[in-house]
């Protein structure tokens, strides 16, 4: 059996907010195989974003293990973590605050190469332009600033920046929840193509079970800091096991008028 | 290029800022050309004392109680005022930005410690503190610059800290950490440029305050005795307030105009750099 | 699907409303928007950001920002024209005749006052009744929106309540003076999906009990499919399509409506092997883009020469209307 790309064992995260101690991640274990898309689905406050931040080293775990290709990365300091940064990248939710407004787009995309000293300056710029092309942005827009782009285009810039070092794992934290339906479809399709072409693996964090249903291989349902159910996307949707999953699916309005209205919406006339 | 054009268009729309800049350029011109128009030092007695403006052909704005040319004093004084204003604020800015950036970025005990230090300086009345520093270290132009920097930096530190507290929560900062960027690089190359607009506006106003404080120090006799400044001119003029009020009034007007010009420029910069107004222009 | 006789007068009628940016004649936010809504009916206004749906609701409430102006058209409440550009006159209309629920409940409430006081204020603003009587009504309202322990909860400050509870308070405020129309602008977008269902069910129940007409502004087609009687699809400041919910979902005629339906994830329509959603290429045009023809033409797979040359007028087939020269064929799967 080969080593999984990412494996998390009994991870706990707790920290202080004001005077209160909160415990958003309570003993999570999961594995992600190479080439897989795992969707982590839950409601606001369930701890899914804290989990992502912990994997990215933005938040220290209080207990448990995170292994990347068999190497322990939980709780490493910034310096020790740096070699792994090339392999684990992330796309954020907010297309407006996730790009430094004072940097030109091509600068933003090549920055990771500068940090990790990959190639010479000309090579870095060439790779940044190639990446722009790959995510559907004309390379000659590289001299523009982020505010000159729409939300969907900014998300493409964020994806180009995350992928320019050719990572193995991309953590997507609600990458389309701030976008309109038609743009959401564009970005989901782009991520899907990039995964196919670059051999990526995704940990896709979302509140939208119906959306991840359409492209994730597996779904992990998160509720109050724990994973309550996991399985192939279709199976979770058609045959939910946990009470929380069932309640969520019952409340999701499917855009199809031939389906009966979900019980959660029905009122007696 | 685009920035310059945008700046010029702001100038055209905002006549207040244009006027402020024009006045400031005039004062800069006076400072730069003092030795050209007045080869003799401003302390030179050029004629009879207490000549009213226009009364004595050699001194356009008259002479003071010792027969020194007031116009020459104005030109040389501009040098001191601008030097003290810009240099003290520059020193205060370096120190204030570093303290504020570290406190705001790291938070926790670093923030606690640095902010207590800042408050310590802020609780002492500014002018008293400046006088004490000059009294202890001796009255020279360097000491005056230092003393004004010491009283000015806490305000800058607090402003920068506030900006950093907001900016460090932006997702792009987390993005920089995830990419593997070092803290100094994040602080100075990523966050600081976004925090500078408020600091720039504040520093223009602070230059005006520093110039006024230098004059006040000189007026009270804590100025550098070796240089002629607007403040010392006013201070010397107070003996002749009844019979020759112009001796005090003329440098006073120069001070007023300078402070006003700096404030006008500061207000204009505020409109220009205000991120809200900017993003309105930037968005669709 | 509340049936209403075709002769019944609409409670709210928007006719050819046009809104643009002041001093910028080229910037046209609403190009032409018309719709009617009857008592007891739910009309969903659907579209993506920048299509003008929120501007439509602000215009009806007389809350247009200073930077924009009405360029034409009218809003009529029970046949009488509303003075939508007169802020003072509109204060009497707001809450008493037309209530509003916003996307962010926290932004609609004042953090410094207990929630009950804020509901009370709405009542006292519009009606001259004794304090005790008004307070009794506040408690009754909070109970009607299913808040537990209304007597205690009325004294809670907004930050003590959850997002769903806050939205219930906002709904109570909006319905405090028994308005005949309720405008709900993305009322559940900020909420979790289970809470969304609760809020929508609450709105529908209140509608059943009071007969209030609901204008539901949303981008969520699933929500529309299960809660709206009729739908109006907006695109770039004009009305692209309107019709009974069932007709519009089963046989969309405007290519934009079709595109929206196709782009929305739908587990029932999943392609074998999973994967790609059908996307609409490009983005919504800028409000100042002076394109001569249909504003959807640059993104439209069915666009023809005529679409780029002139603006399509509305075509009606019974209650189903659309603005398109080359509509999607009606007989579809």
pLDDT in tens, A145-171: 999 898 999 999 999 999 999 999 999
**Where do we find the tokens 């939710």?**
A93
The per-residue pLDDT for B283 is 35
Rounded alpha-carbon distances, angstroms, from residue C203 to A124, A128, B41, C138, C213:
55, 50, 85, 18, 10
Query: Strand A37-41 to strand A201-206: parallel, antiparallel, or no bridges (unpaired)?
Result: parallel
Contacts of C287 in chain B (CB under 8 A): 284
Instruction: Return all residues near A223 (Cβ < 8 A) that are at least 6 apart.
Output: A42, A43, A46, A242, A244
- B80 within a domain of the structure (yes/no): yes
Above pLDDT 90, what percent of chain B? 55
The per-residue pLDDT for B4 is 74
Out of C163, C219, C227, name the one closest to residue A181 (CB).
C219
What length is written for chain A? 269
Same domain, A142 and A79: no
The per-residue pLDDT for C269 is 67
Which of the other chains make 3 or more beta carbon contacts under 8 angstroms with chain A? B, C
Token reading at B202: 């504040």
More confident of the two residues C108 and B89: B89
Note whether A161 contacts B: Cβ–Cβ < 8 A: yes
CA-based nearest distance A109→chain B, Å: 11
The per-residue pLDDT for A83 is 92
Contacts of A102 in chain B (CB under 8 A): 193-194
Question: How many Cβ atoms sit within 10 Å of the Cβ of residue A186?
Answer: 24
The per-residue pLDDT for C6 is 53
Using an 8 Å Cβ cutoff, are A214 and A236 in contact? no
Same domain, A137 and A42: no
Chain A / chain B CB contacts < 8 angstroms: 62
- B219 within a domain of the structure (yes/no): yes
The per-residue pLDDT for C239 is 93
Report residue C54's pLDDT band, with 50, 70 and 90 as the boundaries. Answer: confident
DSSP string for B180-242: T--HHHIIIIIIHHHHHHHHHHHHHHHHHHHHHHHHHHHHTT-S-TTS--HHHHHHHHGGGTT
- A59 within a domain of the structure (yes/no): yes
- What span, in angstroms and rounded, lies between the C-alpha atoms of A88 and A212? 21
Instruction: State mean pLDDT over B38-49.
Output: 84
Report residue C5's pLDDT band, with 50, 70 and 90 as the boundaries. Answer: low
Report residue C272's pLDDT band, with 50, 70 and 90 as the boundaries. Answer: very low
Contacts of C269 in chain A (CB under 8 A): 256
Note whether A175 contacts B: Cβ–Cβ < 8 A: no
Least confident of A31-35, B148-152, C46-50, C70-74: C46-50
Nearest alpha-carbon partner for C269 in C256, C280, C278: C278
Domain range for B251 is 72-274
More confident of the two residues C23 and A65: A65
Out of C196, C220, C283, name the one closest to residue A150 (CB).
C283
- What span, in angstroms and rounded, lies between the C-alpha atoms of A234 and A102? 43
More confident of the two residues B242 and A170: A170
Using an 8 Å Cβ cutoff, are C184 and C203 in contact? yes
- B65 within a domain of the structure (yes/no): no
The per-residue pLDDT for B2 is 60
CA-based nearest distance B121→chain C, Å: 34
Interface of A with B in 88-107 (CB under 8 A): 88-90, 92-94, 97-102
Domain range for A162 is 94-166
Instruction: State mean pLDDT over A206-234.
Output: 93
Q: What is the dihedral of CA A39, A43, A46, A50, to 10 degrees?
A: 60
Contacts of A185 in chain C (CB under 8 A): 263, 277-280
- B158 within a domain of the structure (yes/no): yes
Using an 8 Å Cβ cutoff, are A221 and C227 in contact? no
- B83 within a domain of the structure (yes/no): yes
Total tally of structural domains belonging to chain B: 1
- A151 within a domain of the structure (yes/no): yes
- B24 within a domain of the structure (yes/no): no
More confident of the two residues C43 and B222: C43
pLDDT tens digit string along C281-290? 888 888 888 8
| Continuous H helices in chain A | 48-55, 78-85, 105-115, 121-134, 151-163, 181-198, 209-213, 233-238, 243-251
**pLDDT above 60 for B281:** no
Q: If you ran DSSP here, which 8-state letter would residue A148 be given?
A: G
The per-residue pLDDT for A10 is 96
CB contact under 8 Å between B180 and A85, yes or no, is yes
- What span, in angstroms and rounded, lies between the C-alpha atoms of A210 and C267? 7
Residue A39 is part of a domain; what is its CATH number?
3.40.50.300
Instruction: State mean pLDDT over A260-267.
Output: 85
Instruction: State mean pLDDT over C15-19.
Output: 94
**pLDDT above 70 for A89:** yes
Instruction: Return all residues near A36 (Cβ < 8 A) that are at least 6 apart.
Output: A5, A201, A202, A217, A218
Question: How many Cβ atoms sit within 10 Å of the Cβ of residue B57?
Answer: 8
Q: What is the dihedral of CA B123, B128, B133, B136, to 10 degrees?
A: -120
Report residue C273's pLDDT band, with 50, 70 and 90 as the boundaries. Answer: very low
| Vertex A10 angle, CA A6 and A13, to 5° | 95
Residue B153 is part of a domain; what is its CATH number?
1.10.3720.10
- A62 within a domain of the structure (yes/no): yes
- A251 within a domain of the structure (yes/no): no
Same domain, A122 and A223: no
DSSP string for A46-79: SSHHHHHHHHTTSS--SEEEEEETTEE-TT--HH
Using an 8 Å Cβ cutoff, are B169 and B249 in contact? no
**pLDDT above 50 for B249:** yes
**pLDDT above 70 for B284:** no
The per-residue pLDDT for A109 is 96
The per-residue pLDDT for C7 is 54
| Edge-to-edge strand list for the sheet holding A71-72 | A20-32, A6-17, A63-68, A71-72
- B221 within a domain of the structure (yes/no): yes
- ipTM of this predicted structure: 0.87
Instruction: State mean pLDDT over B59-79.
Output: 87
Same domain, A173 and A129: no
Nearest residue on chain C to A37, judged by CA atoms? C275
Note whether A202 contacts C: Cβ–Cβ < 8 A: no
**pLDDT above 50 for B196:** yes
Token reading at C207: 């509608």
- Domain residue spans of chain C: 12-266+278-293+312-322
Instruction: State mean pLDDT over B195-199.
Output: 89
The per-residue pLDDT for C3 is 53
Instruction: State mean pLDDT over B146-155.
Output: 94
Same domain, A83 and A193: yes
Instruction: State mean pLDDT over B154-160.
Output: 95
Q: Is the pTM of this model over 0.95?
A: no
- H-helix or E-strand spanning residue B123: helix B108-123
Same domain, A28 and A126: no
Same domain, A14 and A61: yes
CB contact under 8 Å between A99 and B179, yes or no, is no
Instruction: State mean pLDDT over B4-16.
Output: 73
Same domain, A79 and A9: yes
The per-residue pLDDT for B280 is 44
Nearest alpha-carbon partner for B16 in B196, B250, B260, B228: B260
CA-based nearest distance B78→chain A, Å: 36
CB contact under 8 Å between B190 and A100, yes or no, is yes
Nearest alpha-carbon partner for B207 in B134, B156, B244: B156
How high does pLDDT run on average in chain B?
87
Topology given in CATH for the domain delimited by C12-266+278-293+312-322: Rossmann fold (3.40.50)
Total tally of structural domains belonging to chain A: 2
- B194 within a domain of the structure (yes/no): yes
Strand partners, A202: A37, A170
**pLDDT above 60 for B276:** no
């Amino acid at each position: 059996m080969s080593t999984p790309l990412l494996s998390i064992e009994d991870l706990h995260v707790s920290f202080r907010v004001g005077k209160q101690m909160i415990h958003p991640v309570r003993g999570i274990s999961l594995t992600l195989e190479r080439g897989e898309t795992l969707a982590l689905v839950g409601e606001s406050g369930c701890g899914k974003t804290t989990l992502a931040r912990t994997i990215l080293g933005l938040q220290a775990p209080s207990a448990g293990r995170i292994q990347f290709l068999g190497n322990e990365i939980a709780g490493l300091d910034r310096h020790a973590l740096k070699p792994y940064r090339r392999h684990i990248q992330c796309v954020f939710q907010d297309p407006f605050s996730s790009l430094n407004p004072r940097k030109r787009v091509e600068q933003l995309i090549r920055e990771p190469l500068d940090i990790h000293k990959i190639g010479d300056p000309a090579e870095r710029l060439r790779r940044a332009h190639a990446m722009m092309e790959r995510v559907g942005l004309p390379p000659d827009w590289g001299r523009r600033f982020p505010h000159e782009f729409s939300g969907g285009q900014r998300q493409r810039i964020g994806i180009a920046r995350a992928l320019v070092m050719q990572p193995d794992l991309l953590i997507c934290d609600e990458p389309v929840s701030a976008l309109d339906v038609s743009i959401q479809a564009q970005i989901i399709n782009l991520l899907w193509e990039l995964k196919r072409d670059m051999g990526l693996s995704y940990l896709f964090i979302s509140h939208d079970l119906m959306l991840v249903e359409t492209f994730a291989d597996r779904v992990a349902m998160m509720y109050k800091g724990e994973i309550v159910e996991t399985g192939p996307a279709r199976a979770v949707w058609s045959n939910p096991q946990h009470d929380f999953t069932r309640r969520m699916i019952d409340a999701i309005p499917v855009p199809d008028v031939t389906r009966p209205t979900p019980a959660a919406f029905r009122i007696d006339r | 290029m685009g920035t310059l054009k945008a700046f010029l268009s702001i100038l055209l729309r905002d006549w207040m800022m244009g006027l402020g800049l024009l006045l400031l350029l005039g004062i800069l011109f006076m400072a730069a050309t003092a030795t050209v128009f007045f080869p003799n030092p401003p302390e030179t007695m050029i004629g009879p004392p207490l000549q009213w403006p226009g009364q004595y052909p050699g001194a356009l704005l008259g002479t003071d109680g010792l027969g020194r040319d007031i116009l020459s004093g104005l030109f040389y004084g501009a040098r001191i005022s601008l030097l003290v204003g810009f240099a003290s604020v520059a020193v205060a800015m370096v120190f204030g930005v570093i303290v504020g950036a570290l406190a705001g970025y790291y938070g926790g005990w670093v923030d606690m410690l640095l902010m207590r230090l800042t408050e310590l300086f802020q609780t002492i009345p500014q002018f008293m503190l400046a006088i004490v520093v000059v009294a202890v270290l001796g009255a020279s132009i360097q000491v005056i610059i230092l003393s004004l920097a010491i009283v000015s930096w806490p305000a800058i530190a607090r402003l920068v800290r506030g900006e950093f507290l907001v900016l460090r929560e932006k997702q792009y900062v987390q993005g920089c950490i995830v990419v593997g960027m070092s803290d100094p690089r994040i602080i100075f190359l990523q966050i600081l440029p976004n925090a500078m607009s408020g600091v720039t506006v504040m520093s223009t106003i602070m230059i005006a305050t520093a110039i006024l404080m230098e004059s006040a120090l000189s007026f009270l006799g804590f100025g550098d005795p070796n240089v002629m400044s607007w403040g010392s001119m006013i201070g010397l003029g107070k003996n002749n307030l009844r019979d020759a009020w112009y001796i005090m009034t003329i440098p006073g007007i120069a001070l007023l105009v300078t402070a006003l010009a700096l404030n006008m420029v500061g207000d204009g910069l505020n409109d220009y750099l205000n991120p809200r107004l900017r993003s309105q222009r930037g968005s669709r | 699907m509340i049936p209403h006789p075709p002769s019944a007068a609409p409670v709210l009628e928007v006719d050819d409303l046009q809104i643009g940016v002041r001093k910028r004649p080229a910037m046209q936010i609403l190009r032409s928007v018309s719709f009617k809504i009857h008592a007891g009916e739910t009309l969903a206004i659907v579209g993506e950001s920048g299509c003008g749906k929120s501007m439509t609701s602000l215009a009806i409430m007389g809350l247009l920002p200073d930077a924009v102006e009405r360029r034409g058209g009218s809003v009529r409440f029970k046949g009488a024209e509303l003075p939508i550009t007169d802020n003072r006159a509109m204060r009497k209309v707001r809450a008493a005749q037309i209530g509003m629920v916003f996307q962010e409940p926290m932004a609609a409430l004042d953090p410094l006052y207990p929630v009950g006081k804020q509901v009370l204020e709405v009542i006292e603003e519009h009606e001259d009744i004794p304090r005790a009587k008004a307070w009794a009504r506040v408690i009754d309202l909070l109970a009607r929106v299913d808040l537990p322990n209304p007597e205690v909860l009325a004294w809670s400050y907004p930050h003590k309540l959850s997002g769903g509870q806050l939205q219930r308070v906002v709904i109570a405020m909006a319905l405090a003076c028994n308005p005949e129309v309720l405008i709900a602008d993305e009322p559940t977008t900020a909420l979790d999906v289970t809470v969304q269902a609760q809020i929508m069910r609450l709105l529908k129940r209140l509608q059943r009990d009071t007969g209030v007409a609901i204008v539901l502004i949303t981008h969520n087609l699933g929500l529309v499919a299960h809660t709206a009687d009729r739908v109006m699809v907006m695109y770039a400041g004009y009305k692209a399509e309107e019709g009974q919910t069932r007709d519009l979902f089963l046989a969309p005629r405007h290519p934009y409506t079709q595109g929206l339906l196709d782009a929305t994830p739908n587990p029932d329509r999943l392609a074998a092997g999973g994967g790609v959603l059908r996307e609409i290429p490009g983005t919504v045009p800028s409000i100042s883009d002076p394109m001569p023809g249909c504003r959807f033409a640059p993104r439209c797979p069915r666009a023809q020469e005529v679409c780029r040359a002139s603006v399509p007028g509305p075509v009606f087939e019974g209650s189903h209307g659309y603005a398109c020269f080359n509509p999607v064929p009606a007989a579809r799967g």
